[in-house]
């Protein structure tokens, strides 16, 4: 895909390095800060986001604005949440204060995101997510931001595998089921580490996540998540042991055996063999 006129003006290692140096900013691996410095990857993310020009865009972790700049050209309102306040002046300088950008300084895990938008506003999340908070953040946004129907995010490849894995896949676990309950996640394309400054030690992938109407909500969803954590607490352990064993069993072993029978599942079943719907049935049989 060719560059649009001025596409990815900031998406160059030399530009990013120079801005950071001028502001005396050293990136920390602890915050998972890696800035995209490749115009073609940027163009592909925007292609997957497929903005019509009518949606408001939410971006978490804008960094110095590589993606933000392009989002501001394509959306009437862009809300960016940045937790590293050192980056805010650099971001503002790099972008030159676009009138349609609202920059929120704060931790996206604590900000009341739904309150940033009108109840009926159509919101798309488009972000290179900070790697250390990607999972809790996505699960939180899928639950707390009903306005967002679609999310296009870049995460580390290993997480992308977990989010999209089905039963029997080595990456399938509690988070795969949580994600499948709240949304449909598909991998759009893989991203090599060389397109970032500084390059992370891992490969990345861009995902397109479409929210789905959940079978469970509220307190019942919280209980189901706790149940899943118990089911998958130890890999390859039979559910009777994962749920009914250990020092603090989730429930008595006999109840697990009974529930498995009621669901028509073999007594030797393991969590990683069961689909989302089978796990929901088991949860209901135990409740």
Kindly report the CATH number assigned to the domain that includes residue 158: 3.40.50.150
Tell me whether residue 274 is in a domain.
Answer: yes
Residues 152 and 131 occupy one common structural domain: yes
Tell me whether residue 4 is in a domain.
Answer: no
Residue 96's contacts (CB-CB under 8 Å, 6 or more residues apart) are none
| Confidence bin at 2 (pLDDT 50/70/90) | very low
pLDDT digits (tens, 9 = 90+) for 60-102: 999 889 999 999 999 999 999 999 888 999 999 999 989 999 9
Tell me whether residue 255 is in a domain.
Answer: yes
Distance CA 49, CA 148 (A): 12
Tell me whether residue 161 is in a domain.
Answer: yes
Residues 207 and 248 occupy one common structural domain: no
pLDDT at 5 over 70: no
Residues 126 and 260 occupy one common structural domain: no
Residues 72 and 148 occupy one common structural domain: yes
Mean pLDDT of the chain: 92
pLDDT digits (tens, 9 = 90+) for 220-273: 999 999 999 999 998 889 999 999 998 899 999 999 999 999 999 999 999 999
Tell me whether residue 135 is in a domain.
Answer: yes
Residues 36 and 175 occupy one common structural domain: yes
CA of 118: how far to CAs of 31, 113, 145, 193, in Å?
A: 30, 11, 11, 37
Residues 156 and 194 occupy one common structural domain: yes
| Confidence bin at 217 (pLDDT 50/70/90) | confident
| Confidence bin at 29 (pLDDT 50/70/90) | low
Question: Residue 44 belongs to what domain range?
Answer: 13-211
Tell me whether residue 8 is in a domain.
Answer: no
Q: What is the pTM of this model?
A: 0.92
Kindly report the CATH number assigned to the domain that includes residue 251: 1.10.8.100
Residues 206 and 231 occupy one common structural domain: no
pLDDT at 205 over 70: yes
Tell me whether residue 168 is in a domain.
Answer: yes
Rounded to the nearest 10 degrees, how much is the dihedral formed by the CA atoms of 216, 222, 228, 229?
160
Both structure tokens of 210 = 């479409």
User: Could you report how far apart the first and last alpha carbons of the chain are, in Å?
Assistant: 52
Domain boundary residue, one of 211, 243, 266: 211
Q: Are 155 and 129 in contact (CB under 8 A)?
A: yes
Tell me whether residue 1 is in a domain.
Answer: no
Residues 202 and 239 occupy one common structural domain: no
103: nearest Cα among 53, 65, 52, 152: 65
Q: Tell the residue number behind the tokens 């050192």, with chain if given.
A: 86
Domain boundary residue, one of 177, 211, 245: 211
Residues 165 and 242 occupy one common structural domain: no
Residues 120 and 207 occupy one common structural domain: yes
Q: Are 187 and 200 in contact (CB under 8 A)?
A: no
Domain boundary residue, one of 172, 194, 211: 211
| Confidence bin at 214 (pLDDT 50/70/90) | confident
pLDDT of residue 32: 63
Residue 117 half-sphere exposure toward CB, CA atoms < 13 A: 23
Total count of domains within the chain:
2
The whole-number average pLDDT for the span 189-198 is 92
Residues 262 and 206 occupy one common structural domain: no
Residues 189 and 258 occupy one common structural domain: no
Distance CA 104, CA 80 (A): 6
When mean pLDDT is compared across 19-33, 107-121, 122-136, the lowest value belongs to 19-33
């Amino acid at each position: 895909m060719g560059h649009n006129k001025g596409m990815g003006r900031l998406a160059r290692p030399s530009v990013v390095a120079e801005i950071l140096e001028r502001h005396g900013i050293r990136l920390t691996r602890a915050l998972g800060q890696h800035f995209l410095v490749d115009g073609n990857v940027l163009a592909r993310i925007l292609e997957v986001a497929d903005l019509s020009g009518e949606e408001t865009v939410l971006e978490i972790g804008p960094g110095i604005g590589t993606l933000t700049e392009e989002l501001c050209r394509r959306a009437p309102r862009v809300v960016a949440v940045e937790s590293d306040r050192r980056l805010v002046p650099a971001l503002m300088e790099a972008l030159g204060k676009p009138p349609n950008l609202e920059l929120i300084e704060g931790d996206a895990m604590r900000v009341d995101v739904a309150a940033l938008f009108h109840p009926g506003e159509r919101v798309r999340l488009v972000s290179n997510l900070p790697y250390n908070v990607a999972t809790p953040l996505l699960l939180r946004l899928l639950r707390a931001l009903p306005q967002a129907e679609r999310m296009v995010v870049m995460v580390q490849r290993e997480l992308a595998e977990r989010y999209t894995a089905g039963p029997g896949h080595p990456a399938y676990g509690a988070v795969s089921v949580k994600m499948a309950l709240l949304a449909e996640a598909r991998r759009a394309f893989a991203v090599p580490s060389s397109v970032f400054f500084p390059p992370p030690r891992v490969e990345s992938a861009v995902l397109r996540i479409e929210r789905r109407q959940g079978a469970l909500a509220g307190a019942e969803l919280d209980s189901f998540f706790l149940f899943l954590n118990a089911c998958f607490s130890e890999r390859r352990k039979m559910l009777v042991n994962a749920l009914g064993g250990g020092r603090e069993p989730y429930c008595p072993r006999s109840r697990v055996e009974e529930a498995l029978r009621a669901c028509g599942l073999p007594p030797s079943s393991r969590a990683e063999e069961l689909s989302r719907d089978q796990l929901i049935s088991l949860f209901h049989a135990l409740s």
